């Protein structure tokens, strides 16, 4: 299984190259690797695919940076995210990114009290960590304009997370040559491409869906035990 390793000292983010958006975190590379098989099984279940189970991990790219990767601060561009897209591959990835938005909205909608949480207050590099379902939803939805802007697509965050993301792709598709997947230097000198934007949507949804599910179980008790939500369970 090909993986990309981004780290700051011992803190690790490990990303799957072939399961776009799948990731693990850990206090070491070994800790992150130990979680990857379960992550891929959960991801495969969400996509309706056969589970892969155990696989050998091959690190195909590494970045030793100074970001707080323990808080999921990331700026890496995969080597594999620099190649042009075929129309077929683009449509497959877009469908997956929109499915993620739709499922995230369904999860959010299933939380009985969207402004209640038993989680403690905590600060990270970007400010207060979202605690309630409402805060998690707004935070996740509102990266829409930011991610698209990094590849020069001007969109807003109006409507549901699905609505604004779908509208972003519609605006993108009006751009000549968008499938060329040109690498662009965006905010804070970070490099972006269309492939990276789609991976970041999936990854970011996954981070906050897991957090929302765990928060809801702790706050309200077990819920949403059908297959709709199994992709977010560790």
Residues in the chain, pLDDT under 70: 52-53, 125-126, 222-234
Cβ atoms of residues 26 and 12 within 8 Å: yes
What pLDDT shows up at residue 125?
Answer: 62
- Which residue, chain included where needed, has tokens 């605006």? 171
What pLDDT shows up at residue 222?
Answer: 67
Cβ atoms of residues 5 and 29 within 8 Å: yes
Tens-digit pLDDT profile for residues 134-181? 999 999 999 999 999 999 999 999 999 999 999 999 999 999 999 999
Find residue 7's DSSP bridge partners: 12, 64
Alpha-carbon torsion angle 153, 108, 210, 96, nearest 10: -40
How far is 19 from 21, CA to CA, in rounded Å? 6
What pLDDT shows up at residue 52?
Answer: 66
Cβ atoms of residues 21 and 206 within 8 Å: yes
- pTM for the full predicted model: 0.93
Cβ atoms of residues 146 and 158 within 8 Å: no
> What's the CATH number of domain 80-232, 1.20.120, 1.10.150, 3.30.300, 1.10.3470?
1.20.120
Alpha-carbon torsion angle 202, 44, 71, 213, nearest 10: 90
Non-local (6+) Cβ contacts of 156 within 8 A are 144, 145, 164
């Amino acid at each position: 299984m090909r993986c990309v390793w981004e780290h700051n000292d011992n803190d690790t983010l490990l990303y799957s190259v072939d399961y776009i958006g799948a990731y693990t975190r850990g206090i070491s590379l070994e800790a992150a690797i130990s979680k990857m098989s379960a992550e891929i099984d959960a991801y495969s279940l969400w996509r309706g695919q056969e589970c892969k189970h155990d696989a050998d991990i091959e690190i195909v790219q590494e970045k030793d940076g100074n970001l707080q990767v323990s808080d999921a601060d990331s700026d890496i561009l995969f080597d594999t995210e620099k190649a042009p897209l075929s129309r077929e591959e683009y449509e497959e990835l877009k469908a997956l990114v929109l499915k993620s938005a739709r499922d995230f909205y369904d999860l959010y909608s299933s939380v009985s009290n969207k402004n209640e949480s038993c989680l403690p207050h905590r600060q990270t590099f970007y400010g207060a960590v979202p605690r309630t379902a409402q805060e998690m939803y707004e935070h996740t939805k509102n990266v829409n304009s930011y991610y698209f802007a990094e590849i020069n697509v001007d969109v807003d965050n109006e409507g549901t997370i699905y609505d604004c993301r779908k509208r972003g792709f519609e605006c993108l598709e009006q751009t000549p040559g968008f499938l060329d997947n040109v690498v662009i230097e965006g905010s804070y000198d970070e490099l972006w491409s269309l492939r990276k934007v789609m991976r970041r949507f999936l990854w970011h949804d996954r981070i906050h869906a897991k957090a929302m599910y765990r928060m809801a179980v702790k706050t309200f008790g077990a819920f949403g035990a059908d297959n709709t939500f199994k992709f977010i369970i560790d």
